[in-house]
A = this chain, B = another copy of it.
Amino acid sequence: RRGRETTLASRRFVSMADMHQAALEWTITAENWSGPVEVITALDARVINQGVARYRELEGRHLHSVTSRTSSSDTISLIAQTRQSRIYVAEAARTRVYGESGALETDRSLYQMEDYIHQTLGFNLQQGQSIRVEKLVSFYTSHDQAINEPLTNAEKAVGRFGSFDEALDHHRRAWNELWDDCDIRVPNDDRVQFLLRFHASHVLQTCSPHTADLDVGVPARGLNGEAYRGHIFWDELYIYPFLNFRLPRITRGLLRYRYRRLDEARALARDAGYRGAMYPWQSGSDGKEETQVVHLNPRSGLWEPDMSQNQRHVSAAIFYNIWHYLQATGDTDFLLSAGAEMMIEIARFWSSIAHFNPTRDRYEIHGVMGPDEFHEKYPDSHEPGLRNNAYTNIMVAWLMNIAAGLPDQLPERRRRSLREQIELTDQEIETWKEMSRKMYVPFLADGVISQFEGWENLEELDWAAYREKYDNIQRLDRILRAEGKEPDRYKLLKQADTVLLFYLFRQNELKEIFERLGYSYTSETLRKNVAYYDARTSHGSTLSFVTYAGVFLEIDLTTSWDRYMVALESDVGDVQGGTTAEGIHMGVMSGTLDIVQRSYLGEVIRDGILYFNPKAIDHLRGLNLPMRFRGLLIGVTLEDGRLRVGAEVDSLNRSVKIGVGDQVREIRSGESYTFDL
């Protein structure tokens, strides 16, 4: 009706207080007219996956219809089932209309199919009057615990759902509690403050205290989009550290997700002729390998072979994640019930995929690739994988040293039963010790680590020419292939590979690993490696900026901060040109949060002591963040030239040891201490 002015104010949320609740409120105001209004409230199971353009030719229907019904006059409900995995999904929606003097009676008519149901609510609106519509929804799946049947429980729950305002209030309180644990405060830079909160809010939507008790992993693209089909990759390496120090229950839940899939990782190793546990590069529901074997190049329209499942380094990342979770939490129970078994089985896998080369007197690993996905194999070779990826081999040298000492850290009874159960021998442990001293690492000239053996034979790319020819060369692989060239022919990287080592380990840790291996590590090693690889990295993965921001900190604060800002702005600005709509990048979002503690505060745990080594960055003046270390919540504040650490009041009277340089203080519940920097 021409000329009618209507105001619609909408509020909606999915509750952080109750994972089964969502709600929607519409306030409709007739500004200059009076008359009848109809509002349709529906539940729809005909939804299909169509959020990623290049997947649209794949099957996008994932739901079977089951039934819909009305369980009371103001409630509609619906249950559907996933087509392959037989999971039921049920929703019930109660819709009520409120005028200024309370609930209104409305005409309701019903439209109902097996997989769709709606009520039409009719009422009259007077000029200037506002009407509020509350649609409260309960959601259950057959994977939920403590339920009877998903549809019945959804209906029961929506019947008990209070008002929109009450539920919103609970939702807000739950978020406030999360912010108390997670808010990194940066008073000196509003943009950074905004982006950190933006990232934390997304991380906590995908990994929340609710998901901690579910059998769910952390999908690389969050729960926001369909890219990567919800698969679990290695991004956990970037995602866990932020959570380890704030909500370790979540990390523990994610690690248990991996533990429940240990048998599948064992089967994957066995089927490939290895021992122990080989975690898949991409996985889903039951933990089997789900990596695609062909990949569509949108530039050429061709399906190209995909060998990325040879990124065996995911198993090293899982080992690293367990170890760092244990360092941050001291969670002995997890170590005994799951962690030790996983770490040992991963070490066992690495010792079986490696072989001893008597000529070099070194252990070597062939047929794998590193994180850099531009190199899946040698040029002109049909064999997938490379020889001696340095990142992989050094991670293995590191983890073998830990794994070899692990059995001795277990209580006698658990050690005995675990050894029996997985038939672990002393001989294996001896081999692991040897591998920690004898993994082979290839080098180029002048102390630069070679990304893999044979890197030196590749061609240099004419970077200037490509930068001139293309607006964006992040996905140089697609560009080169569309030109008929194989990226594996060139000295180029999609993302940090070798350089990642300098991000994951402190320099003194790396020095120790190198010296144990009998390789030299000098004060110039980091600088030379970063310089060499930075010049050849296209940053085709957003994670690359996170890594380079961290490693540049040791070289040049400004470059580090520039890279950091790219990473911080990458999802909000959709720097990859369209990928954010397909799902946020969990690794970058959580990695940019972690970098504040890991790099800018210089956090590291040694011998049960949490050390800081802050960098003086003007943007971070007054930085203040909460950290949970070994059960105790502490607040860390960076003041000019000083670092203040205060511990919460804790009736259990726990304490933590905090160090800055040579100063180490035991800080008890309720105490604080200010370190001079």
Contacts and interface: CB of A to CB of B under 8 A. Distances in A.
Interface stretch (A189-197, A374-382, A404-412, A587-595): A404-412
A150 B421 CA distance: 26
Q: Give the number of times this chain occurs in the complex, counting copies.
A: 2
Most chain B CB atoms below 10 A, which of A148, A173, A421: A148
Contacts of A145: 215, 260
A149 B413 contact: no
Contacts of A421: 173, 177
Interface residues of A, number: 51
Contacts of A417: 177, 180
Interface string A205-249: 000000000010000000000000000000000000000000001
Interface string A120-142: 00000000000000000000001
A243 to B, nearest CB: 16
Contact of A147 (B286, B632, B649, B651): B286
Interface in A621-677: 631-633, 648-652, 669
Nearest to A212: B337
Given A142-B142, A267-B160, A421-B173, A149 B649 contact: no
Nearest to A288: B148
Most chain B CB atoms below 10 A, which of A146, A261, A632, A649: A146
A88 interface: yes
A286 B413 contact: no
A262 to B, nearest CB: 9
A189 B285 CA distance: 52
Contacts of A88: 86
A643 to B, nearest CB: 21
A95 interface: no
Interface in A155-169: 160
Interface in A57-88: 84-88
B651 A146 contact: no
Nearest to A651: B409
Given A160-B267, A177-B417, A411-B633, A215 B146 contact: yes
A411 B332 contact: no
Contacts of A426: none
Contacts of A409: 651-652
Contacts of A631: 332
A413 B146 contact: no
A279 to B, nearest CB: 13
A420 interface: yes
Contacts of A420: 173
Most chain B CB atoms below 10 A, which of A215, A286, A411: A411
A287 interface: yes
A264 interface: yes
Contacts of A632: 411
Nearest to A632: B411
A85 B149 contact: yes
Contact of A648 (B86, B413, B649): B413
B146 A180 contact: no
Contacts of A177: 417, 421
Nearest to A88: B86
Interface string A412-436: 1100010011000000000000000
B412 A648 contact: yes
A570 interface: no
A162 to B, nearest CB: 11
A641 to B, nearest CB: 29
A249 to B, nearest CB: 7
A309 interface: no
Given A177-B417, A421-B173, A652-B411, A149 B332 contact: no
B146 A633 contact: no
Interface of A: 84-88, 142-143, 145-150, 153, 160, 173, 177, 180, 215, 249, 257, 260-261, 264, 267, 284-288, 332-333, 337, 408-413, 417, 420-421, 631-633, 648-652, 669
9 contacts: A85-B149, A87-B142, A146-B215, A177-B417, A333-B333, A410-B651, A411-B632, A411-B650, A413-B633
Given A86-B149, A249-B337, A409-B651, 7 more contacts: A85-B149, A142-B143, A143-B143, A146-B260, A147-B285, A177-B421, A332-B631
